[in-house]
Structure 1
Amino acid sequence: MSKNYSSRLSELRSRKNDIQILQECYGYKGFSLDSYNQFIKMASETNDVQNYFIEAMASVDEIYTKNTYKEAERVKNQLDKIKTASLNFEYEYQGSVSNNTHIKAHSDIDVLVIIDKFVTLQHPLVPANPYKGNPINDLLELRYTSEKHLISAFPQADVDCSGAKAIGLSGGSLRRKVDVVPSNWYDTVEYDRTKQMHYRGIYVLDKYKKERILNTPFYHNYLLDVKDINTAGNFKRVVRLLKTLKADSDNDIKLSSYDIVAIAYHMETSKYVTGDKYIRLLKNVYSYLNDLASMSSELRNSIDVPDKSRKIFNESGKYIGLILLKDEIEELLKSLVSSYGLSDYSIEYKSIAV
């Protein structure tokens, strides 16, 4: 069934733009998403399917991302007020905003609140001054103190304390959803040797199970950045495209954003190096997804996420998600080839400005 790319383009632009900020930039309140769409269409020589493809690969405008970080700073400024000699912490970010693969102007952002009372060391590292406290109890104190203060500090917002790993803040005066994640540092042997930040991990508290879960968000982001540099930015363009296709699909594609990043990560770097031949890039993505879907389940299920913390296809529904995502790519490729009037030969040489 042919997709309605005009409708999808409108959805994409609604998702990637903030009308209030557009109004402020253009200096009058009469500016709307409809007038923005018309402005873009008049400025473009291409049609809706072509615009959809180009804009789906593009990063969210920096002005919106800056506003996301600004809202996170507001939350951090409030949390600073509960710092004491016995309860101190620092902040880091994780998630798609931090690695520039987000596809929404109003993207959620994760703020890691990292306690300074103790650091967990990877074996065989030995602490110079052994910690004698209880890590779970100290993180629970951080969690409950943060919950109480944030409820008071943001009385008009929805402060959701029901999450096992994060306190979610949204609404009221906040223009973005901010998740506050109590955690502690995990220093690896490689971090101890090199002091390079990306080798540091974190332990995140699960307040219900009263246990800690190891994450490596900085190493994950480092691996994505290396892949993106080696592909002249085409890796993250493809990630954004795949996320956009999932968001706009009529089907429920059972793949998380993390899964989609991991799937894209495993496409050969050489297949990304197409310069501005983005139709050829799309053809390579389709071929890769088709090969991935066609391989034996044993081989496919053995593929790790970038930081090797788990397998990508660790749930049965993800294979169906892969098939649906492949079908979305195939339909987009066919529509673009038709739109540009390309032959199989000319696909390899079609340049597109992004």
Structure 2
Amino acid sequence: MAHWNRLTQELDQWRREGRYRPLTVWNSGSGTWMELNGRQVLQMSSNNYLGLTDHPALKAAALEAIETYGVGSGSVRTITGTLDLHDQLEQELAQFKQTEAVLTFQSGFTTNQGVLGSILSENDVVISDALNHASIIDGIRLTKAQRKIYAHKDMDQLEDVLKQCSSFEQRIIVTDGVFSMDGDIAPLPQIVELAEQYDALVYVDDAHASGVLGKHGKGSTDHFSLHGRVHIQVGTLSKAIGVVGGYVATSQVLKDYLIHKARPFLFSTSAPPSIAAACLAAIRVLKQSSVLQDRLWQNTTAFRQSLIHLGFNTGASETPIIPIMIGEPAITMRFSDRLLDEGLFAQGIVYPTVAQDQGRVRLIVTAKHTDADLAFALDVIARVGREFGLI
């Protein structure tokens, strides 16, 4: 149809540039080895950091909640959609995060949209790291606040921006805790010190730090012992937690305000009871033991060191997110495809998700990968890497 000519042309251009990707349809649940087109493939692109998606405690909690409450909550939170499970989850999450309060949302994306879209006015300025997640960028776009960007983790530039912004009613510094494409950690202590010096609020998106950094996976604020000095902590329940959803850990005042103002919260049906129950079970699993987190970091450190020893460029990675930096988009996607041919799924990431010359295959290590799994992955990556002249 003529109506879609422009869209068709864009799709064709993406195909020519090697950026077009159809959806990959899997035939099994999230895990280390997954079924794809009738064969088993080692999965190294999942955010299931701790392997909680099929944890017995989470599955049992979800099933019990379905039997007790049914499959849906039936309403938005402000009408009849706040069940005791939702309330209990928020209370226990707040205790876990060591904040006054927590408010849950349908996803990490809508959390950023809901919080940023609610607290920023035309009299405020939001100061954002250049590599922050798309949900932060979109959340900021929903506001009339002034926007300032500082170069990635550049504290000198951040201070310069803060000096220029003294006239604004409110200054909010927004950063990812762990950056999702590079796997590096935000310099949170320095950010907090600058915020205190220049009277700014600190907002941290811990999507990839929740369950990964800090004692029992409490996140980047705990990792740096900054409790009470970070004003807003956003996290997901969809990655290391193993289920789905998002939350903001903050003051009771801000929670009460968001209940009345955050549009994704106000106008979306609340999480099904099974989801709330599984998330609650996941938090309790984290509090009980650090075994899974310890295994995650053992796997991560050993795997990254092996890649570097082979000669691969792993960029700025400090966490279980480990990119193999390649550059040109088409080559990046061909490299990813060849890995899949050899039984390893590792997603290629190219422009516009990253800069045009910053294409990479992003590997994610989990606690559930065995030594044998990681040895298999290293063998495949080394063989294909030699084919492509990467090592």
TM range (shorter): under 0.3
Structure index of larger Rg: 1
Higher helix share: 1
TM-score (norm 1): 0.27
Question: Could you say which structure has the greater relative contact order, defined with CA pairs below 8 angstroms and 6 or more residues apart?
Answer: 2
TM-score (norm 2): 0.25
